[in-house]
């Protein structure tokens, strides 16, 4: 790990000031010399691997008391960015009204990592692409823009089949983000010029020609919270992986349904483990909305979700796996006791 200096930020303004100016258009946020330290489960890991090389760490953990509240007022949920994954997963209001959110957090990482990792840090976690994480590979457009992509013709079993570009096929690895994008969450961003809200769906940028730029966050921006409108008791998260626990998704499905008398009034569908960014399956939602739920409808929705999927040598199995998982998740959501 490269040497760094360490500072504690005791208020958001100080943190924003310290983080600002450390990045430019040639130097994307993920490569900035000043980085915020929250749970550290991604940052310290990637610093040990020499993938991230900050020279200054701003410890934002002193903001925990101000920024970790979980508030539910009957029709709206607000999650503070510094809340730990384990605490939100165990919150009874979240479990009762948003099982999708609770399950997406509980099925991620390990108990130790969930005790450490914050919600804000979780949505900003970096890809698990083994070529990105191993600096002995020179050709990674995310690490070294313009250098090529070793995964294209390499061992790409865990890579994305949706949202890919000619520059990058790295999978977005998170689970919680799939819940947020499915539920039309808003993300609250605190920067140098105050606080603003954007749709969570706008936060991550698909790789395109600039896979090194992963979000729309500007220098000095910190995620301060997330809000979800409405109540989604009929919702769930299903995750297929190489082992039963403590593993990233090969494919996952985030589902929230409003079903009245067997008809789907509203449907929210996101799929994880298969795309380069958090992925909303709007084509599947359009098929479901207004229809009577049955297995055939679930199957057609699953086909629609993966209509644009493009597999490579080792990851084509994800397309069939993803369809079957999504159809199963829809069935479970439609028939669950609420």
Partner 1 sequence: MSDPTDTPIASGFDRRSFIAGAAGSAMLPLTARAEAPTTSPPSAQDPSRPVDVTLRVNGETKLLRLDPRTTVLDALREHIGLTGSKKGCDHGQCGACTVLIDGRRVVSCLTLALAAQDQDITTIEGLARGAALHPMQQAFIDQDAFQCGYCTPGQIMSAVACVREGHATNDDDIREYMSGNLCRCAAYPNIVAAVKQAAPEILKG
10 Å CB burial of residue 290 (0-12, 13-18, 19+) is: exposed
- Torsion 10-16-20-23 (CA) sign: positive
- Closest among 28, 85, 68, 80 to 188, alpha carbons compared: 80
10 Å CB burial of residue 207 (0-12, 13-18, 19+) is: buried
Dihedrals phi, psi of 236, to nearest 5 degrees: -160, 165
In terms of CB distance, is 77 or 236 closer to partner 1? 236
From the list 5-13, 19-27, 173-181, 255-263, the region that binds partner 1 by CB under 8 A is 5-13
Residue in 144, 195, 196, 246 binding partner 1, rule: CB under 8 A: 246
In terms of CB distance, is 48 or 96 closer to partner 1? 48
From the list 2-10, 138-146, 174-182, 293-301, the region that binds partner 1 by CB under 8 A is 2-10
- How many residues of this chain interact with partner 1, rule: CB under 8 A? 29
Distance of closest approach, residue 109 Cβ to partner 1, in angstroms: 8
- Closest among 269, 266, 276 to 302, alpha carbons compared: 269
Q: What is the Cα gyration radius of the chain?
A: 19
Residue in 13, 20, 70, 116 binding partner 1, rule: CB under 8 A: 116
Question: Is 78 near partner 1 (CB under 8 A)?
Answer: no
Residue in 64, 95, 115, 139 binding partner 1, rule: CB under 8 A: 115
Q: Are the C-beta atoms of residues 253 and 240 closer than 8 Å to each other?
A: no
Which residues, 31 to 70, sit near partner 1 by CB under 8 A?
37, 40-41, 44-45, 48-49, 55, 57, 59, 61
CA gap 192, 221 in Å, rounded: 7
- Closest among 4, 78, 91 to 40, alpha carbons compared: 4
Question: Is 17 near partner 1 (CB under 8 A)?
Answer: no
Residue in 71, 110, 197, 263 binding partner 1, rule: CB under 8 A: 110
Residue showing tokens 């930020």: 9
CA gap 6, 279 in Å, rounded: 35
Question: Is 3 near partner 1 (CB under 8 A)?
Answer: yes
From the list 164-172, 176-184, 203-211, 244-252, the region that binds partner 1 by CB under 8 A is 244-252
Q: Are the C-beta atoms of residues 238 and 328 closer than 8 Å to each other?
A: yes
Distance of closest approach, residue 65 Cβ to partner 1, in angstroms: 13
Applying CB under 8 A, which residues contact partner 1? 1, 3-8, 37, 40-41, 44-45, 48-49, 55, 57, 59, 61, 86, 109-113, 115-116, 244-246
């Amino acid at each position: 790990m490269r040497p760094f200096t360490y500072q504690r930020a005791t208020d958001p303004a100080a943190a924003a000031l310290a983080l600002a100016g450390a990045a430019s258009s040639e130097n994307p946020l993920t490569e900035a010399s000043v980085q915020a330290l929250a749970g550290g489960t991604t940052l310290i890991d990637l610093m040990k691997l020499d993938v991230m090389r900050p020279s200054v760490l701003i410890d934002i953990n002193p903001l925990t008391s101000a920024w970790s509240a979980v508030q539910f007022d009957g029709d709206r949920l607000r999650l503070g960015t510094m809340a730990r994954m384990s605490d939100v997963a165990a919150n009874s209001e979240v479990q009762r009204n948003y099982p999708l959110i609770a399950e997406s957090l509980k099925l991620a990482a390990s108990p130790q990592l969930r005790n450490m990792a914050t919600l804000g840090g979780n949505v900003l976690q970096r890809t698990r692409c083994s070529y990105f994480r191993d600096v002995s590979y020179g050709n990674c457009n995310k690490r070294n823009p313009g250098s090529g992509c070793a995964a294209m013709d390499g061992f790409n079993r865990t890579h994305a089949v949706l949202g890919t570009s000619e520059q990058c096929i790295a999978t977005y690895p998170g689970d919680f983000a799939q819940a947020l994008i499915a539920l039309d969450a808003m993300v609250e961003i605190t920067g140098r010029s105050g606080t603003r809200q954007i749709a969570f769906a706008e936060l991550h940028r698909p790789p395109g020609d600039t896979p090194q730029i992963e979000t729309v966050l500007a220098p000095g921006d910190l995620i301060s919270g997330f809000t979800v409108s409405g109540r989604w008791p009929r919702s769930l998260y299903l995750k297929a992986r190489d082992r039963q626990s403590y593993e990233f998704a090969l494919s996952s499905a985030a589902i929230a349904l409003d079903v009245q008398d067997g008809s789907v009034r509203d449907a929210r569908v996101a799929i994880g483990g298969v795309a380069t960014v958090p992925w909303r399956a709007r084509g599947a939602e359009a098929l479901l909305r207004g229809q009577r739920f049955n297995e055939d409808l679930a199957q057609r929705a699953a086909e629609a979700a993966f209509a644009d999927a493009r597999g490579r040598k080792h990851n084509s199995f994800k397309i069939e796996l993803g369809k079957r998982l999504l159809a199963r998740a829809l069935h479970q959501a439609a028939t669950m006791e609420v």
